[in-house]
Amino acid sequence: MRETPRPRETADGAGPGLPPHRPGGASAHTAGASRSGTPHRPDGRSPHTPRGARHTGPTGRPGTSPPVPGRPVLLCARVTAVLTLFALITWQVVSGGPLTGPDERISGALAGRGPAGPAEFCADLGNMQVALPVLACAVAFAWWRGSRRAAAGAVAAMAAVPALVVPLKLLTDRPGPLTEETGYYPSGHAVTAAVAYGAAALLLAPYVRRAWMTPAAAVLVTVATGIGLVLRGYHWPLDVLAGWCLAGVLLLVLGEVSSRSRSRSSSRTPSC
């Protein structure tokens, strides 16, 4: 009768010993692997879990690298450039600098010229009664489509127009081309048209197949408004240019807000 094999004993005979080491066993539990901080697989391949693919942070823990602050720096540079141009124009207007001479000559050559009807129509595009309904429709549409942060930013940009223009008119106290009355710098109609139509273009661009069409239309309407204001003698050319500078600052900030809002919305959308 064959005897059953007895369990292997240790060297001192105290009891059963540990199983023999098998080649190719898991090495992640060894002392060296536990101190390395890097997950391992028995076959040497990289782990498939997301944790293994993460980059380590400054403290050595798994995490993601911080975003590179490129866009805020670019935004600040653009805003600074536009404000510098506005400050230069304002200084020339207040001090009667060299730019005011060509400004007055251009206005004298263009005021009252051209077809009165189309020029008046273009100038009226900067009226609140015309520009605000266009912006309101764009805000309502963007709010309905879920771009509420961008829609609120557009409303704030439009509300900032009188808050910026009225004090500047009182401080500069510039007379108009065809009148002795003052308060024509900067052009409120030019700012209103640029902000209203520009903000509407930013709100509608994500939902248009050819996104470039809405900014192009806003630029055409804004330029037409400025030309109408100069042709009808309502403003000097520098008044219009300064108004576009103020509107440019507001639209740059609004564009950044809209871009971040779209980025957050796309990040919340689950991928298929």
In a domain, 6, yes or no: no
In a domain, 57, yes or no: no
Q: What is the mean pLDDT of residues 185-192?
A: 97
What's the pLDDT tens digit per position in 4-30? Answer: 555 554 445 445 555 555 555 444 444
Q: 197, 133 in Cβ contact below 8 A? A: no
Instruction: Give CA–CA dist 120/72, Å, rounded.
Output: 40
Encoded amino acid at 259, one letter: S
Number of domains forming the structure of the chain: 1
In a domain, 269, yes or no: no
* 83 has pLDDT over 80: yes
Q: What share of the chain is helix, strand, coil (3-state, %, to 5)?
A: 60, 5, 35
What percentage of the chain has pLDDT greater than the value 70?
70
pLDDT (0 to 100) of residue 146: 87
In a domain, 64, yes or no: no
pLDDT bin (cut points 50, 70, 90) of residue 142 is: very high
- Domain ranges, residue 220: 73-264
Question: Alpha-carbon torsion 38, 40, 44, 46, what sign?
Answer: negative
In a domain, 144, yes or no: yes
Tokens of 43: 């076959």
Q: What is the mean pLDDT of residues 151-167?
A: 96
Cα-atom radius of gyration of the chain, to the nearest Å? 34
Q: What is the mean pLDDT of residues 181-191?
A: 95
Max mean pLDDT among 153-162, 177-186, 254-263 falls in 153-162
In a domain, 253, yes or no: yes
Contacts 24+ apart (CB under 8 A), 23-32: none
In a domain, 186, yes or no: yes
* Helix orientation angle between 213-231 and 188-204, rounded to the nearest 10 degrees: 170
In a domain, 53, yes or no: no
pTM of the model: 0.71
